[in-house]
């Protein structure tokens, strides 16, 4: 972190985004003008058996930070979302979609501008498949891919950060911006090319092993829902998604249900409220079991 921001003081607070007291304390001390909210549990297979934690952190944690931004008069709140929020097949995507809905609708009740930016995988980020493949190739293989037809969108860290900041500038509040990530990349092809770039031959020097889809995984992700009318923004890499509105009173009633479900550890209440927010989410959470955390998701 120090290398990325040499000479710039970076205070650190170890706390839970779903802890209102800790979040308020951080805002009281530092009085931020702009909030970039990227904190979330993102590991898809792990969250499939952790409904309460997915909701508590990804939904209620977003609400806590958003309310603090409103209370302390922040000018903008930039919510970092994911392509997995579109037609979600997993709890990670469904919980992030609820957070999108909250931020979009809270914008109408706050002087803070709430802006959502949605995109896919970032090359080289924590949990990225590229470092995993590099480690596997260095160890002599095999390189593990979940499915031969698995595809994902990719973008570099630098490009994603630049576009997020540009979206924050052009956003007036309440938007969901979708970053144009060009064509998706087949993960098997990526593995093949990385092996060849290392000077090895796939199938001879290093094997590619297909391990099967993990809980909650989709073969292909989408950047926008069929009901979202995309509009141009003046930046060819940033599109605006016209999204579905939710009645504010009902939205808050359902958030209370989510809070009660977390407080009582009631998965049935949590799932019912989650499906009210995201009716296109139809998957069932899986029972707690050992999870393979390796691979692309």
Provide the annotated active-site residues: 84
Q: Please give the Cα distance from 168 to 188 (Å, whole number).
A: 35
CB atoms within 10 A of CB 101: 23
**Alpha-helical runs (H) found in the chain:** 20-30, 44-47, 51-54, 61-71, 91-106, 129-138, 157-170, 187-197, 248-264, 267-277
Pairing of strands 208-210, 76-80: unpaired
Only one residue has tokens 């994603």, namely 160
Both structure tokens of 151:
């595809």
| Helix/strand/coil for 121 | strand
In angstroms, what is the C-alpha Rg of the chain?
A: 20
- As a dihedral over the C-alpha atoms of residue 191, residue 90, residue 229, residue 117, rounded to 10 degrees, the angle is -70
Cα separations (Å) of 256 from 121, 179, 249?
32, 32, 11
Q: Please give the Cα distance from 85 to 87 (Å, whole number).
A: 6
Q: Please give the Cα distance from 41 to 39 (Å, whole number).
A: 7
């Amino acid at each position: 972190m120090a290398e990325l921001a040499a000479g710039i003081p970076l205070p650190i607070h170890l706390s839970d985004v779903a802890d209102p007291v800790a979040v308020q304390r951080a805002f009281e001390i530092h009085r931020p003008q702009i909030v970039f909210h990227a904190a979330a549990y993102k590991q898809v297979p792990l969250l499939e058996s952790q409904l309460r934690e997915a909701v508590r952190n990804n939904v209620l944690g977003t609400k806590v930070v958003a309310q603090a931004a409103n209370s302390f008069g922040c000018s903008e709140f930039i919510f970092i979302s994911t392509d997995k929020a579109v037609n979600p097949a997993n709890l990670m995507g469904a919980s992030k979609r609820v957070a999108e809905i909250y931020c979009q609708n809270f914008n109408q009740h706050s002087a803070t501008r709430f802006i959502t930016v949605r995109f896919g995988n970032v090359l080289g980020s924590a949990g990225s498949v590229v470092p995993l493949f590099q480690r596997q190739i260095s160890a002599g293989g095999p390189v593990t891919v979940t499915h031969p037809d698995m595809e994902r969108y990719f973008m570099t860290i630098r490009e994603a950060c630049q576009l997020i900041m540009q979206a924050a500038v052009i956003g007036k509040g309440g938007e969901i911006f979708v970053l144009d990530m060009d064509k998706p990349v087949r993960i098997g092809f990526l593995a093949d090319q990385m092996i060849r770039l290392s000077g090895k031959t796939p199938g001879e020097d290093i094997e590619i092993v297909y391990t099967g889809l993990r809980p909650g995984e989709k073969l292909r992700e989408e950047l926008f829902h069929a009901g979202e009318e995309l509009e141009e923004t003046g930046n060819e890499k940033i599109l605006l998604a016209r999204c579905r509105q939710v009645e504010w009173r009902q939205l808050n009633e359902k958030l209370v249900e989510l809070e009660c479900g977390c407080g009582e550890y009631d998965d049935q209440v949590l799932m019912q409220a989650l499906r009210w927010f995201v009716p296109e989410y139809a998957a069932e959470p899986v029972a707690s079991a050992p999870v393979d955390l390796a691979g692309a998701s």
